[in-house]
Structure 1
């Protein structure tokens, strides 16, 4: 179905090719998982499948890419639209209509699908992706996860033979992600659709993959069965890391297989108390932010309902909940820029009448009190190069007075981004890393991160955790709105769960996420009832035990 024959892709502003001498064949009805660190060329590989590379992105393509017998060098994307469906990293970039139902029908209109068939496919897709209740909603009113499902649905209605998905579950809560992946899997198994899927949250998708295409970062491509590739790959999900640590063979890729392999290990570790993932914050931490009765409504519909929240110095809080539960609305209300129908926010000592409300001070002062990185990082990027953005952040944040340069922060999150690169040309993960560096340069007392791991690989997430830990060690408080349960297990001291605008759970990370079958990380599911959250905890215990790990 898809063939890469000695394919090399070289952009003018890069010293080395992004892809080099790639030979690859993807058969009909395969689900191929494309993996690699941020910026290694996954989006370029996917873009070459439907002709976006080089027809739209520029650069030079050497070799030959064929899809269903069509050479992409001779067929621009519009001539491949009936064969290849593409969903990019940012769903808003691909929307061309106003409402959900119109967006689902648009691609079929361009392909002259008969009206009766269009209506049937729209209804099927609405049910398939759980969008029936949103059919008449405006696209700009949807949450990020809802927009992602609409973007996938708008491609599925055209019934393409090849489906290219660039981080399709990055904005989805665990349940919604499972629904989307189940739908994609049905297309592969029942209809023979060929799927190329790039995803950083490998723990969600590895069990569905027929093949893994690994980009190690040198322009080459390694392809093979998932267990074979992940045995030695530079990037792997927690379940694979756990299997490597425990020396299991064959390497399990599903929770069910891993639990079977882990039975002897659970018996051996029974009664062993694992080390804490994070140091327990002291009980005498001062309160930095006090929120009371926060209420947010949109056109009379409540998004946040009278929420009370206290944030303490040195504390990392994860804000979780399904898509549309009010997480982003709460963050914007705390930051001061978003709507707030009722309630109060103060940053400073409790009861201090001089403690300012970020909503009532200048933008510069508000940024020093509460910094927020939004779901769509490009909203904060407006200059012509990465260097200009970083220099502007340093100037506004007073780095010369002793702050950390934004470039230093960026290199820790996503190293190797050239100064001359235009921010809009970065991958989604690189854009997010840039905005995160810009916001952190101001060293605000309260840091709010809305889906910060979207587009970040495991290595970048580790660097983000280091930065978050550093902020907490300096006495700041950090709130991270996320669906990434693996990240929460490693990064958060406390978890707050929202549903329909209300706070329904609030407590220590271990107590909240282990008790939930939805939010529990892979290690917790595999080793339950043992109280493990991360692979690092297990590795520490096994190292101390000093016995054969495969026993």
Structure 2
């Protein structure tokens, strides 16, 4: 169905190909997973299938890509639209209408399908993806995860033979991700749809793949094989594979079920040992890290601790918070207090109110009732120039913070806005994005690289309270590990951190507390181990494998065995 014949892509101005030597075939009715670190060219490979590369992106494509017998070099994307459905990392960039139902119908209208066929397919997709209650909602009022489901639905309604998906579950809560993947499985198994997918959250998808294509580094020749074989040598792998490598299991398990069957000996080795938890953050300034811990380059470049709130005061305090937006009650009587040095993970299904809560903390959303205070200030009544030194938000879409034409210009603007010494932001970028040059345009960065740049921009002001909305979208496991190390350093220096995330593995590794939201209300608030272990949806893979023992991460197991 899809054939790559020695394909290489070189973008204008680049001194080497972004992808090289791609030679593979994706048979009809298979799900093929494209994996590799951030920035290795996965989106380029996907774009070559839909014709976006090189017709819209520019650059030079060598070799040949065919889809259902059509050469993408001679067929533009609109000439492939009846065969290929594409969902990119940014669903907003794909929307062309205003409401959910109109967006689901648009692709079929473009293909001239009969009205009765369109109506039936729209209803089917609304039910498949759990969107029926949102059919009349404006797209602009949806959460990021809801927008992601609409984007996926809009390419399902025309019934394409090939689906090309770039990070399809990155903004979805665990339950919604399972629903979407179940739909994809039905399409592959029952209808013979061919799916080519790139995804960083391998714990969700690798077990469903028929083949895995690994791009180990930019310009490297891909490795193609069975999922277990590729995971054995891949630089990126899910926690279940990490645990399997640690335990010496062969072949490596790809599912929690397979791992549990082999885990009896490992549970016995761990019997009587207890994982070292992150533990609750102190209400006062936290103690310095243990002397044995070597300071990172980040810590050496810091200019001291953040501006502290009065002794004993919380970094953020929310009391009986209610928010009504566009007639919808987004938050209901929310209570939340965050101490300096504490990391809190906000979790819950898409549309639960996580991003709205972050918006109130940074002054973007005005409360309809109750109160919000950050470092003693009321966010929505505080001037932006003053607020930026109290709280910083890295939004779900990093490009919302990035408006300059180069990395250097973004950094210079961040230094000015934060009244920081020139070069402060650029030093952070050098730590987070080694190798990125000053003249790089932010739009030429991968999703994960743009996130790192936005984080550096926000951190330039050293805000005592740092807010992150889905911070691991587009990040591979290595980049996520660097982010975790950075955030731990910030918490150790006294920064309070609140992150809204669907990444249960991130919460298990980083958060002191987890706050679960549902329908705008707090339904659980407690230590991470207590909240996630008791939740089938939000428990990490290692917890499920080693239950009833209370381990959260492979790193905890590795430390205990050492």
TM-score greater than 0.5 by the shorter chain: yes
Q: CA deviation at 1:241?
A: 0.7
SS at match of 2:479: helix
Matched residue, 2:205: 205
Is 1:152 aligned to 2:152, yes or no? Answer: yes
CA distance in 1, matches of 2:327, 2:85: 37
Q: CA deviation at 1:284?
A: 4.5
Kept in 2, the 8 Å contact 1:181–1:205? The answer is yes
CA distance in 2, matches of 1:294, 1:226: 47
Q: Against the structure 1 CA distance between its residues 177 and 411, is the aligned structure 2 distance closer, same or farther, given a 3 Å change threshold? A: farther
Is 1:318 aligned to 2:311, yes or no? Answer: no
| Length, aligned pairs only | 534
Q: How does 1:112-191 map to 2 (within 5 A)?
A: 112-191=112-191
Matched residue, 2:454: 435
Matched residue, 1:502: 521
Q: CA deviation at 1:190?
A: 0.6
Matched residue, 2:18: 18
Matched residue, 1:365: 386
**Aligned counterpart in structure 2 of residue 511 of structure 1, from 507, 530, 538:** 530
Q: How does 1:404-415 map to 2 (within 5 A)?
A: 405-415=424-434
Is 1:338 aligned to 2:362, yes or no? Answer: no
Kept in 2, the 8 Å contact 1:7–1:61? The answer is yes
CA distance in 1, matches of 2:144, 2:278: 30
Q: Against the structure 1 CA distance between its residues 413 and 179, is the aligned structure 2 distance closer, same or farther, given a 3 Å change threshold? A: farther
Kept in 1, the 8 Å contact 2:283–2:339? The answer is no
Matched residue, 1:64: 64
Matched residue, 2:264: 263
CA distance in 2, matches of 1:163, 1:412: 37
Q: How does 1:242-257 map to 2 (within 5 A)?
A: 242-257=243-258
Q: CA deviation at 1:45?
A: 0.5
Matched residue, 1:76: 76
Matched residue, 2:306: none
**Aligned counterpart in structure 2 of residue 472 of structure 1, from 478, 491, 501:** 491
CA distance in 2, matches of 1:30, 1:335: 45
Per mean C-alpha deviation after superposition, the further-off stretch among 407-416 and 51-60 is 407-416
CA distance in 2, matches of 1:148, 1:279: 34
**Aligned counterpart in structure 1 of residue 418 of structure 2, from 381, 389, 397:** 397
CA distance in 1, matches of 2:127, 2:218: 42
CA deviations 1:220-256 (Å, max 9, x no partner) are 2111100000101111111111111111011110111
Matched residue, 1:351: none
Matched residue, 1:291: 318
Kept in 1, the 8 Å contact 2:341–2:494? The answer is yes
SS at match of 2:389: helix
CA RMSD of superposed structures (Å): 1.4
CA distance in 1, matches of 2:534, 2:28: 41
Q: CA deviation at 1:347?
A: 2.8
Matched residue, 2:196: 196
CA deviations 1:404-463 (Å, max 9, x no partner) are 822333344343333222222322222222111101111101111111111111111111
SS at match of 2:127: helix
Per mean C-alpha deviation after superposition, the further-off stretch among 240-249 and 356-365 is 356-365
CA distance in 2, matches of 1:447, 1:272: 34
* TM, length-normalised to structure 2: 0.93
Q: How does 1:21-60 map to 2 (within 5 A)?
A: 21-60=21-60
Matched residue, 2:400: 379
CA distance in 2, matches of 1:327, 1:235: 29
SS at match of 2:22: strand
Matched residue, 1:444: 463
CA distance in 2, matches of 1:315, 1:437: 20
Matched residue, 1:538: 557
Kept in 1, the 8 Å contact 2:49–2:67? The answer is yes
Q: CA deviation at 1:283?
A: 5.4
Q: CA deviation at 1:277?
A: 4.3
CA distance in 1, matches of 2:526, 2:326: 32
Q: CA deviation at 1:305?
A: 1.1
CA deviations 1:133-171 (Å, max 9, x no partner) are 111111111111111000000000111111000001111
CA distance in 2, matches of 1:310, 1:269: 35
CA distance in 1, matches of 2:193, 2:368: 47
CA deviations 1:277-311 (Å, max 9, x no partner) are 43553354532222212211013321011212111
Matched residue, 1:100: 100
CA distance in 1, matches of 2:123, 2:130: 11
CA distance in 1, matches of 2:527, 2:367: 28
SS at match of 1:203: helix
CA distance in 2, matches of 1:412, 1:38: 16
Per mean C-alpha deviation after superposition, the further-off stretch among 162-171 and 374-383 is 374-383
CA distance in 2, matches of 1:30, 1:18: 26
Q: Against the structure 1 CA distance between its residues 306 and 160, is the aligned structure 2 distance closer, same or farther, given a 3 Å change threshold? A: same
CA distance in 2, matches of 1:212, 1:364: 48
SS at match of 1:5: strand
* TM, length-normalised to structure 1: 0.95
CA distance in 2, matches of 1:267, 1:448: 40
CA distance in 2, matches of 1:406, 1:213: 36
CA deviations 1:184-221 (Å, max 9, x no partner) are 11101111111011111111111111111111114221
SS at match of 1:23: strand
